Structure 1
Amino acid sequence: MPEDTATQTPAPTTAAVDPVRGFSRRALFGLAGAGAVGLGLGVAGDRAAIAAAAAASPTGGSVSYPFFGTHQAGIVTPAQDRLHFAAFDVADDLSRDDLIELLQDWSTAAALMTAGRDVGEFGSVNGPYDAPPEDTGEAQGLPPAGLTITFGFGPTLFQAADGADRFGLAARRPEALTPLPHFPGDMLEAGRSDGDLCIQACADDPQVAVHAIRNLSRIAFGRAAIRWSQLGFGRTSSTSTSQATPRNLFGFKDGTANIKAEEPDAVNDQVWVGDGDGPTWLAGGSYLVARRIRMTIETWDRTLLREQETVFGRTKGAGAPLSGGTEFSEPDFVIVGRADAPLIDHAAHVRLAHPTQNAGTRMLRRGYNFVDGNDELGRLNAGLFFISFQRSPEQFTRVQLNLAKNDALNEYIRHVGSALFAVPPGAATGSYVGAALFA
């Protein structure tokens, strides 16, 4: 087990960020257009300027989380209020060196943006008039807003669906990194599932989160393209004891018993990949599960309050278990009420998701609400974009199988998207995310 604990995760700071490498020539094509290199945006002159910009203090005095560190930020970091998540497929003609270069460029940009800086030497307004701006500019003047950028690698990065070992990584794929199984009740859409790479951008300002994905996508032009993406608002769980428990779109408090950063033993045991868990390059990292869960809002809104509380096994107001106490009281699954029926129903969500019903399994959940307009029948296209981090995908699979078979909540939800990614440990100063994979 690595000696790192949850308390060693990078703390919020307003200090200078670590200098980072400059952008590759291909990144500059993506940022500024094919003609920009001849206008003074070449790599050689760019590196020193970008390093100097990265070393400057972030604007606005807002909290920022450093990109470089033992673990990637955006896992045990206090959950921000907004999300932009994107899964990417790499280009068919991408080489191993091209992939490394892309990760280097993404790391350079991530270090700048998490510090509240523009991307590139000239940013959004100071470059040549005859070239597109290096930075898209919608975050100009905004503080960092607690932005974190977290990268992950999908199973197909190591071995394509046709079996091809495109980047010589097949032998280094973690044994546990295989596509998630098709669970009972899944109605998965291929266009909302899987991917070679993923980026999770979380911030307390939606424009800052969108700015991050937008610029990273530009940098990847010609090398990787977005396969699917998801905007999220209103975190649906807390990752710190300093945060109040939020509510999901069904109006219930969610994530009361979530793993918190202030539980280092639980984080080390349940979240971080250990030295003996697989390939050494992943030690100190984690596994990210993403599930897009559509809620049948209109049906739920016509459901009796008594039934709603029975489904969850908690009161809708205080969030206390139906067995009594406060929100943070441990549920009592034995105590009975009328007709000797348990106060917490056998099919209640809180019962089936509880660690005592899943061999002690816990996950660090980091999901978000979403509303993507209306469908063709006028119903809200809304729900939960579920994200969890765990030491092994088996933790998620164990709990989801338990929920998929018996959870009363299944009457009101549909799982329509699914993906699994290996999240490498944090990048060392001057290096890039995932560097150990290519060593």
Structure 2
Amino acid sequence: MSTDEHSSSADGAVRGIPRRRLFALGGAAGALGIGGLGGGAIGYGVRGAQEKKQSAVHLSYPFRAEKQQGILTPAQDNMFTAAFDVTTTDRQALIGLLRDWTVAAEQMSAGDLVGGVPDANAELPPKDSGEVWGYPASGLTITFGFGATLFVDSDGEDRFGLKDKMPAILKEGVPKFANEALHADASDGDLLVQACANDPQVAVHAIRNLTRIAFGTAKLRWGQIGYGRTSSTSTQQETPRNLFGFKDGTNNIKSEDPQKELDKHLWVQSGDDPASDSWLSGGTYFVARKIHMYLEIWDRVSLAEQEDIIGRDKRFGAPQSVADPDTDEEFTPLDFSAQNAEGAPAIDARAHVAIVAPEHNKGAKMLRRGYNFTDGNDSLGRLDAGLFFISFVRDPRTNFYPILKTMAQKDLLTEYLQHRASALFAIPPGVGTGDTMIGQKLFS
């Protein structure tokens, strides 16, 4: 496919949809609609979809702000999250990497090339790998975090003079849960980078170029590509579906929620932890779980049982406490006192929505920002797929771990899942106007 077919154009075609294909789609819509209103509806749907996609790829978000981008930002369609291990023992080299990453992240978020204008000397390798040259920013956000092993090594020894600033949450780590089979090489890490965008190539480009910049200072530990967001972080977004086919994250925290709610559940507050108060206040914690879904087994479960396991209607997303679900009842509050025609609880106490409901978890909430993943198939031809669950939370010890523990022990859905990787990172506040690097207060 030529470069012209990949780029935005003045007549409305967007990257990945060449003009000739748009004309073909329009012609097909017209043919289907001869003699009726169907053609008009199809044509409108095609135009509406293209306008929506064009708008999404031309979005850009400022890199410098009070909070890091990629948290409350409206969740994009694609994600590439990666963790790095720092290979140097030189504190100044680590600081230099974070400064270089900050410059590159700001450039890429604006839709610019890494390093600016290409070097005039063609004998040198280009500073930018070039696969998104001329592409729009596509709503790219890049979020950075710090893991426990950046502060101390496996023996508890101070690595970069940061040990005394290590948050207690990182020091304690993530507890063990039932039925998990975690892969160490796909978990944790020193540094976190989450790149999200409305174009998958833009997200991959971001991680690729930050990895190039890190050469000699840090190496890629693991990476996970995700597609099809599984939650909404704004009331302006429709609720998406996970690979089980159900709407996911209906009751998620949203950017439009009252500030006091965001402060209570999402943002680290001054006084939460004296050790990290100076650099982490206003930030948050990133907790990820790579969850394999046994899709082939799930696909053989009856629709009625699937809905009982989740606690919601599969088509509309309405809670089972709604007798006759319809399109407008997804956000109807869960009623755990409601009964079905047989006089039993309409929502099983072990249904997924009941297990994770705030009213059953002392009001605990988290900001969900996960993605579907498909990593090919295994030797038996089964899909290696599932959910890369991401949550941002003020304190995972109160708002995440207890919920996951109950899920592992009681949730009907657990039979169809297995947790295979885990990660915990502290996410500092945003990069200020005069800052030269992400996490500047940590190193000051």
TM-score band, normalised by shorter chain:
0.7 to 0.9
2:199 aligned partner, one-letter code: D
* Contact in 2 for aligned 1:95/1:166 (Cα 8 Å): no
Gaps in structure 1 of 5+ consecutive residues? 1-59
Counterparts of residues 12-411 of structure 1 (less than 5 Å): 62-91=58-87, 93-123=88-118, 126-177=119-170, 178-263=172-257, 264-278=259-273, 279-324=277-322, 326-394=329-397, 395-411=399-415
2:266 aligned partner, one-letter code: V
* Contact in 1 for aligned 2:57/2:139 (Cα 8 Å): no
* Contact in 2 for aligned 1:122/1:134 (Cα 8 Å): no
Q: Tell whether 2:431 aligns with 1:427.
A: yes
Aligned to 2:46: none
TM-score computed with the length of structure 1 as normaliser: 0.84
Which shifted more, 317-326 or 146-155? 317-326
Secondary structure of the 2:169 match is coil
* Contact in 1 for aligned 2:350/2:410 (Cα 8 Å): yes
Secondary structure of the 2:168 match is coil
TM-score computed with the length of structure 2 as normaliser: 0.83
2:114 aligned partner, one-letter code: V
Supply the distance in 2 between the matched residues of 1:368 and 1:323 (Cα, whole angstroms).
Answer: 28
Supply the distance in 2 between the matched residues of 1:330 and 1:236 (Cα, whole angstroms).
Answer: 20
Q: Structure 1 residue 430: deviation in Å? A: 3.7
The 1:318–1:61 alpha-carbon spacing in structure 2 relative to 1, beyond 3 Å, is: closer
* Contact in 1 for aligned 2:268/2:283 (Cα 8 Å): yes
2:169 aligned partner, one-letter code: A
Q: Structure 1 residue 195: deviation in Å? A: 0.5
Supply the distance in 1 between the matched residues of 2:341 and 2:149 (Cα, whole angstroms).
Answer: 53
Supply the distance in 2 between the matched residues of 1:406 and 1:280 (Cα, whole angstroms).
Answer: 39
Q: Structure 1 residue 63: deviation in Å? A: 1.6
Supply the distance in 2 between the matched residues of 1:245 and 1:195 (Cα, whole angstroms).
Answer: 31
Supply the distance in 1 between the matched residues of 2:121 and 2:314 (Cα, whole angstroms).
Answer: 57
* Contact in 2 for aligned 1:425/1:434 (Cα 8 Å): yes
Supply the distance in 2 between the matched residues of 1:148 and 1:61 (Cα, whole angstroms).
Answer: 12
Gaps in structure 2 of 5+ consecutive residues? 1-55
Supply the distance in 2 between the matched residues of 1:145 and 1:121 (Cα, whole angstroms).
Answer: 18
* Contact in 2 for aligned 1:81/1:205 (Cα 8 Å): yes
Which shifted more, 420-429 or 332-341? 332-341
* Contact in 1 for aligned 2:266/2:392 (Cα 8 Å): yes
- Deviations along 1:122-168, one digit per CA (max 9) or x if unpaired, are 33xx5422111110000111100000000000011111122121101
Supply the distance in 1 between the matched residues of 2:86 and 2:284 (Cα, whole angstroms).
Answer: 22
Supply the distance in 2 between the matched residues of 1:298 and 1:241 (Cα, whole angstroms).
Answer: 33
Supply the distance in 1 between the matched residues of 2:57 and 2:380 (Cα, whole angstroms).
Answer: 46
* Contact in 2 for aligned 1:183/1:404 (Cα 8 Å): yes
Supply the distance in 1 between the matched residues of 2:155 and 2:93 (Cα, whole angstroms).
Answer: 21
Q: Tell whether 2:421 aligns with 1:417.
A: yes
Supply the distance in 1 between the matched residues of 2:254 and 2:340 (Cα, whole angstroms).
Answer: 33
Supply the distance in 1 between the matched residues of 2:215 and 2:340 (Cα, whole angstroms).
Answer: 61
Secondary structure of the 2:400 match is helix
Supply the distance in 1 between the matched residues of 2:318 and 2:362 (Cα, whole angstroms).
Answer: 23
Supply the distance in 2 between the matched residues of 1:378 and 1:130 (Cα, whole angstroms).
Answer: 46
* Contact in 2 for aligned 1:84/1:202 (Cα 8 Å): yes
Which shifted more, 393-402 or 212-221? 393-402
Supply the distance in 1 between the matched residues of 2:86 and 2:225 (Cα, whole angstroms).
Answer: 21
Supply the distance in 1 between the matched residues of 2:251 and 2:271 (Cα, whole angstroms).
Answer: 28
- Deviations along 1:87-113, one digit per CA (max 9) or x if unpaired, are 11110x331111111111100000000
State percent identity of aligned pairs.
55
The 1:71–1:338 alpha-carbon spacing in structure 2 relative to 1, beyond 3 Å, is: same
* Contact in 2 for aligned 1:158/1:168 (Cα 8 Å): yes
Supply the distance in 2 between the matched residues of 1:152 and 1:421 (Cα, whole angstroms).
Answer: 6
1:433 aligned partner, one-letter code: I
Supply the distance in 2 between the matched residues of 1:436 and 1:77 (Cα, whole angstroms).
Answer: 23
Q: Structure 1 residue 338: deviation in Å? A: 4.3
1:285 aligned partner, one-letter code: G
RMSD, aligned CA: 1.3
Q: Structure 1 residue 339: deviation in Å? A: 4.2
* Alignment: residue pair count: 377
Supply the distance in 1 between the matched residues of 2:64 and 2:309 (Cα, whole angstroms).
Answer: 43
1:97 aligned partner, one-letter code: Q
Supply the distance in 1 between the matched residues of 2:262 and 2:290 (Cα, whole angstroms).
Answer: 24
Secondary structure of the 1:140 match is coil
